[in-house]
Amino acid sequence: MMKIKYSLHTLRLAQALLATRTRQHRCFSGAIEKSNNFFFRQLFDTESCTYTYLLGDSDTREAVLIDPVLEQAERDAKLITELGFKLIYAMNTHMHADHITGTGRLKSLLPGSRSVIGKSSGAQADIHLCDGEAVRFGCHQLVACSTPGHTNGCFTFVCHEQCMAFTGDALLIRGCGRTDFQEGSPETLYHSVHSRIFTLPDHFKVYPAHDYKGQTASSVGEEKKYNPRLTKSLEEFVQIMDNLNLPYPKKIDESIPANKVCGLF
């Protein structure tokens, strides 16, 4: 009797394990399939409403930081040190216009780290990424996916094995990056989001560079359904973007020149 009970239990356990593995496989698209040693932390800068993301491999202790803000560089370096990570890449999704990047400052606070940005950004960095190239940290990787439109050099960093997309200012939660300065183009942005982000599986989480309404994350499926701008036709989207009438970011005049040189102006 005991033997039969044990067998049924084993069968159920095997079924549960199989279901978990099948779910993992759905978002596995070429990267190494390992997730139990993945570290993730979302950080926020209240002045610019910028999200910075710390991603790490808890076995090798290698970590990357996405979109750090200059004024928070000491906070970020302290956290990375406290957690026992070694920062290898300080990355930017694009050349920001509203705040100065923390990558240059972090390089001196955490020697050995290198700055990363898309080649088409026109900004200085140790490593310039082109579309499809990846950075690795431990057994994880972020694939650079070119998503211009807010600026020419905007990239979305996709962690396929964790089903996560760091969309910078291309796709915001229920919004998107403005297209009225730098090399902004609503047509290009619409095409980028629809062809590069909305083609990811619906369950991929969306982590933007900013949120102004207190939201922290979304998903591809959610944005495809509820984004008030990007659910519209291209013509309607262009109309919306051309009539946003947003004031220029307060720090635009200092941010752009500084961000051309890793924030070390």
Ligand X SMILES: N[C@@H](CCC(=O)N[C@@H](CSS)C(=O)NCC(=O)O)C(=O)O
Of residues 262, 20, 30, 260, the one with CA closest to residue 142: 30
Residue whose CB is less far from ligand X, 145 or 170: 170
Residue whose CB is less far from ligand X, 45 or 62: 45
Rounded Cα–Cα distance for residues 229 and 190 (Å): 9
Of residues 244, 172, 165, 160, the one with CA closest to residue 197: 165
| Interface residues toward ligand X, by CB under 6 A | 48, 97-98, 169, 175, 177-178, 210, 246, 249-251
Rounded Cα–Cα distance for residues 163 and 28 (Å): 8
Residue whose CB is less far from ligand X, 177 or 263: 177
Rounded Cα–Cα distance for residues 83 and 78 (Å): 9
Rounded Cα–Cα distance for residues 13 and 209 (Å): 40
Least gap, CB of 247 to ligand X (angstroms): 7
Residue 140 forms beta bridges with which residues? Answer: 137
What ranges in the chain are assigned the alpha helix state H?
2-26, 73-82, 103-109, 186-192, 220-226, 234-242, 252-259
Least gap, CB of 169 to ligand X (angstroms): 5
Least gap, CB of 21 to ligand X (angstroms): 39
Q: Calculate the CA dihedral of residues 26, 136, 142, 76 and round it to 10 degrees.
A: 120
Least gap, CB of 49 to ligand X (angstroms): 7
Distance of CA 109 to the CA centre of its chain: 23
Phi–psi pair at 55, nearest 5 degrees: -125, 140
Residue whose CB is less far from ligand X, 85 or 237: 237
Rounded Cα–Cα distance for residues 73 and 59 (Å): 24
Residue whose CB is less far from ligand X, 201 or 257: 257
Q: Is 61 left (phi over 0), alpha (psi -120 to 50) or beta?
A: left
Least gap, CB of 250 to ligand X (angstroms): 4
Residue whose CB is less far from ligand X, 113 or 188: 188
Least gap, CB of 109 to ligand X (angstroms): 24
Residue whose CB is less far from ligand X, 161 or 169: 169
Least gap, CB of 116 to ligand X (angstroms): 20
